[in-house]
Amino acid sequence: MFGGEGGGRGQRGGNVQTKGQDVVVNLEIEFMEAVEGASKTISYQRKDVCQTCKGTRAKPGSTPSTCEGCRG
């Protein structure tokens, strides 16, 4: 967006298509950092989808069902 690294490009310079939701990180910077440019390092944790159930919470070979108690 501001000409820095990233912007949806991979190491080879091509556009990278990713699945899932956007990552949102709150970051505070000083006014002069914004004016003069600044480099910040951030870290975050990402939750991966279970490779066994693929996020369905059902055992392989079974069908997910609705909970009778909470309808979840």
Q: What is the pLDDT of residues 62-71, one digit of tens each?
A: 887 777 777 7
pTM score > 0.85 for this model?
no
Q: What is the pLDDT of residues 18-32, one digit of tens each?
A: 566 788 888 899 999
DSSP 3-70: SSS-TTB-TTSSB----SPPP-------HHHHHH----------PPPPTTTTTS-S-TTS-----TTT
pLDDT at 8: 46
